[in-house]
Structure 1
Amino acid sequence: MVLLTTKTMQMTAVFITFGGLVTSLITTFLPLWKTMNSDLNEMENWYSGLWHMCLYTEEVGMQCKSYDSVLGLPSDLQISRVLMLLSVFTGGLALLVAIPGLDGVHVCLDRFGKRRKFLILAGVLSWVSGITTLAPVSVVAYTTVVEFWDKGFPDVMPRWEYGEAMFSGWFGGLALLLGGTLFFIAVCMADYDLKMATSVTNSSLRTRQYRKTEVL
């Protein structure tokens, strides 16, 4: 296909990685990781995130408060904070590293090997960012399910359920993994283009040498 070029694949990888990074960044600070609604008071909705606990009522609206102590948080939330921040950092670094390796950027144009290394490193960092996004979201999802079906709590006690941030976190992590994969595909396509160009050049040189020999 004409549209499926190395440059197009590179730009697609950058676009998807950027989208995954923005989604992961929003997920990190969105106080909607878990939600809870009490049957005793259906007008109140509780929301829990990595940094805030929020209460929504129709009379007042949304009221959020930071956690009083980091040490008092469950271990899954503490680990999730670190991993999500690491994900945002590595995702942003992946985009910065990818810029010198893009075909449209006039940097290292005479050094194909160096540009190739930039794109490979960007792919690795994007993968790391995706994994460090999926891991905390999946851990919190697992602990939420375990606590929801825990028979040790009375049935009348409200339970935490999945919030919207859980799904956005999964989407952002998968997008980062896909972006990293596309960086690797772009590198393979560039290697193939270089191989074909070298093959055509060598073939032309052989043809010219043959013609010279034929004239002599």
Structure 2
Amino acid sequence: MLSAAIQILAFALALLGVVGTTVATLLPNWKVRVSAWYGVMTPVSQMRGLWMDCVWYSSGVFSCNMKHSVLSLPAYLQTTRAAMVLSCLVAAFGLCLASLGLKCTNWGGSHRAKGHTAIAAGGCFILSSVLILVPASWFTNEVITVFLTTDLPDSSKYQPGGALCVTFVSAGFLLAGGVIFCMSCPGRRRTGRPDAPTYRDELQTERVQPKGRKPGPDQEQSLSSSPSKPPPKDIRDSYSLQEYV
């Protein structure tokens, strides 16, 4: 099983991945279009995210509109929304399991139980990273395909935004943390000895088992007064030589 320091490093990477995934899901700049400046109220930058579309005007005004209609959205956008939300939930559940599987914590059971819990947490982190990478790659492919195939000036086309960069980095953190936690397998012991008892097991043993009692004075007196068995005599001493003369 891995050391406690490596497990803490994996937990920190997974935590960064969860925070980054949550932030990227809420950001509006999944794809960005930068326009030229023509006037005071000309939109300089237009951003489209998973949940809202935002416009930044040259005057400094920043306005956003929520995407209320679900059926009007394209398939890749709906898939990305569902996968990102599911990824956040799976990663949060993995953090709960990872806190139980850390060697530096007092809860979570025995040494072997902590190892199995850490492996389950690593599986959750790897699954969460897959749920991020697949729809994010699909989203990026759609944006790049439209940019290359549309006969419009580059200033009128959308490009991948900063939220996609945060998404891929967060997926990398989750994948790294998940792989490290999956390496926490306790393995099999050749000696066949049981796992070392934890502090909680020792407390329960002290409460259940009574302390050893010393023998009382009556028992000591009965033991001291019991006759001792005489040593056996030699067989040769029981016969005299005169009986055979």
The verdict on a shared fold, with TM-score over 0.5 as the criterion, is: yes
Query: Does 1:21 find its partner at 2:12?
Result: no
Greater CA deviation, 94-103 or 27-36?
94-103
Deviation of 1:191 after TM superposition, in Å, equals: 4.1
Deviation of 1:108 after TM superposition, in Å, equals: 3.8
Distance change in 2, residues 1:99/1:66 (3 Å) = same
Does the residue aligned with 2:54 lie in a helix, a strand or coil?
strand
Corresponding residue for 1:176?
A: 174
More helix by share: 1
Residues 39, 158 of structure 1: 8 Å contact kept:
no
C-alpha distance in structure 2 between counterparts of 1:102 and 1:53, whole Å: 41
Corresponding residue for 1:31?
A: 28
Q: Which amino acid aligns with 1:176?
A: L
Q: Which amino acid aligns with 2:3?
A: T
Superposition pairs of residues 50-199 of structure 1, within 5 angstroms: 50-109=50-109, 111-151=110-150, 153-155=151-153, 158-185=156-183, 187-188=184-185, 190-191=186-187
C-alpha distance in structure 2 between counterparts of 1:126 and 1:173, whole Å: 9
Distance change in 2, residues 1:154/1:107 (3 Å) = closer
Q: What stretches of structure 1 of length at least 5 have no aligned partner?
A: 199-216
C-alpha distance in structure 2 between counterparts of 1:95 and 1:86, whole Å: 14
Does the residue aligned with 1:172 lie in a helix, a strand or coil?
helix
Distance change in 2, residues 1:101/1:59 (3 Å) = same
TM-score, with structure 2 as normaliser: 0.71
Does the residue aligned with 1:64 lie in a helix, a strand or coil?
strand
Q: Larger RCO: Structure 1 or Structure 2 (Cα < 8 Å, ≥ 6 residues apart)?
A: 1
Deviation of 1:58 after TM superposition, in Å, equals: 3.1
C-alpha distance in structure 1 between counterparts of 2:118 and 2:73, whole Å: 39
C-alpha distance in structure 2 between counterparts of 1:37 and 1:57, whole Å: 11
Deviation of 1:104 after TM superposition, in Å, equals: 1.6
Greater CA deviation, 59-68 or 32-41?
32-41
Residues 7, 104 of structure 1: 8 Å contact kept:
yes
- RMSD between aligned alpha carbons? 2.4
Identity of aligned residues (%): 24
Q: What stretches of structure 2 of length at least 5 have no aligned partner?
A: 194-245
Q: Which has the larger radius of gyration?
A: 2
C-alpha distance in structure 1 between counterparts of 2:30 and 2:90, whole Å: 22
Residue correspondences, number: 190
